[in-house]
Amino acid sequence: MDWDSLDWDALDRLRAGFLAGRPADEPYWRNESDLAAYDLTYAERIGWKWDAVLRELAARGWRPRCRSVLDWGCGSGVAGRRVITALGGAATFDRLRLWDHSPAARAFAARRAAETFPGLDVAHESDPSDDAGPVGLLVISHVLNELAAEQREQLLALVARAEAVIWVEPGTHAVGRDLAALRDRLRGDFNVVAPCPHAAPCGLFADGQERDWCHFFAPPPPALPADPRWVRFAQRAGVDLRSLPYSFLVLDRAPLASPPPPDGGRLIGRPDVMKPYARFLGCEAAGLSMLELPKRVDGALVKALDKHPPAALYRWRHAGGRITEIEALVPARPSPEPANADA
């Protein structure tokens, strides 16, 4: 499939299902054409979110220690491919296991992975919940709101067997809070690599924070606005490709090589940048609070926050809701590479 032969009926039907965001009675992938159209478009957009997460992990110096990946709820398999590519391909990993309750999805994802990583052992036949083998690095992408309670517990049983987890979801209020609640449930068994600047309970569940959620925005590839295929796709699909909100969670059983400092903080969501200051929701061990960063404290940062995603971790001091000192600890994410297919 290419851009000229996109199966729009399939894309419209799939999008309507994604927007409904509830457990489907049965797999919605009807055939290879559904998966190919999704892989070229919506999955690639999800891939840009993965690129942002994986750039952050590289900037933090984090790598998983295991050599096998399980992509659960794989769909066309974009998440597993992005992870393996970013972390060194078949030189880093021996095995990719793919699972989805749709056999068509598993077969499509396995074929794409085998094409992308010759030499990697790619398995897609059996349900990992049916065996007790090691799970390695568990990759989960855009699945949470499709799971009924029992399926969710099945997934969490796999999380309990994983050595590390990278989990990326859409940055909506409901899913972002849901993932944060899972983070609190899992933080006793794992070290939280990201996004949290602390290991304390999540501040989202304090009184008064019900309207907030943990989410970030990935930058789209710089060449996107000049690419007529994507411009046409965005118009036809009614999707804003400039806005790529995501929520994410990265867990590791191994101790963190560089845990966040006690005065570490992170910006949540999109900052409001006004003339004299930027205002944002700040997350730190003490909880969440609205903070103002006056231009006179760091004019260059205020300006940068208007255009670029914030750094992943700051050290800051504040008094009365005003930042008095701020320093980026994990550097601002470098600008994204041109649209990255897989390799």
d(CA 282, CA 96): 37
The reply to whether 41 sits near ligand SAM by the rule CB under 6 A is no
Instruction: Select from 233, 235, 247 the least CA-distant residue to 339.
Output: 233
The reply to whether 97 sits near ligand SAM by the rule CB under 6 A is no
The reply to whether 27 sits near ligand SAM by the rule CB under 6 A is yes
Q: Which of 56, 60, 68, 73 binds ligand SAM (CB under 6 A)?
A: 73
Instruction: Select from 93, 11, 2, 44 the least CA-distant residue to 341.
Output: 44
The reply to whether 43 sits near ligand SAM by the rule CB under 6 A is yes
Omega prior to 195 cis, within 30 of 0: yes
Helix (H, G, I), strand (E, B) or coil at 123: strand
Q: Which stretch binds ligand SAM (CB under 6 A): 87-95, 97-105, 313-321, 322-330?
A: 97-105
The reply to whether 74 sits near ligand SAM by the rule CB under 6 A is yes
Q: Which of 15, 30, 95, 101 binds ligand SAM (CB under 6 A)?
A: 101
Give the nearest distance from C-beta 13 to ligand SAM in angstroms.
13
Residues near 104 by beta carbon (within 8 Å), at least 6 away in sequence = 27, 29, 30, 31, 32, 34, 35
Residues near 79 by beta carbon (within 8 Å), at least 6 away in sequence = 46, 47, 50, 71, 139, 140, 141, 168
Give the nearest distance from C-beta 330 to ligand SAM in angstroms.
25
d(CA 66, CA 55): 19
75 vs 282 by CB, closer to ligand SAM: 75
Q: Which of 18, 90, 161, 304 binds ligand SAM (CB under 6 A)?
A: 18
The reply to whether 329 sits near ligand SAM by the rule CB under 6 A is no
* Element of type H or E holding 138: strand 137-141
Helix (H, G, I), strand (E, B) or coil at 84: helix
The reply to whether 102 sits near ligand SAM by the rule CB under 6 A is yes
Instruction: Select from 285, 298, 260 the least CA-distant residue to 60.
Output: 260
Instruction: Select from 203, 209, 184, 169 the least CA-distant residue to 283.
Output: 203
The reply to whether 105 sits near ligand SAM by the rule CB under 6 A is yes
Q: How far is CA 168 from CA 116, 288, 339, in A?
A: 22, 22, 19
23 vs 299 by CB, closer to ligand SAM: 23
The reply to whether 68 sits near ligand SAM by the rule CB under 6 A is no
Q: Which of 79, 179, 204, 329 binds ligand SAM (CB under 6 A)?
A: 79
d(CA 170, CA 136): 24
The reply to whether 37 sits near ligand SAM by the rule CB under 6 A is no
Give the nearest distance from C-beta 162 to ligand SAM in angstroms.
16
Give the nearest distance from C-beta 250 to ligand SAM in angstroms.
16
Residue nearest to ligand SAM (CB): 75
Q: Which of 46, 87, 138, 193 binds ligand SAM (CB under 6 A)?
A: 46
**Taking CB under 6 A as the criterion, which residues in 118-157 touch ligand SAM?**
141-143, 146-147, 151
The reply to whether 170 sits near ligand SAM by the rule CB under 6 A is no
Q: Which two tokens stand for residue 234?
A: 């965005």
* Site of interaction with ligand SAM (CB under 6 A): 18, 27, 43, 46, 73-75, 78-79, 100-102, 105, 141-143, 146-147, 151
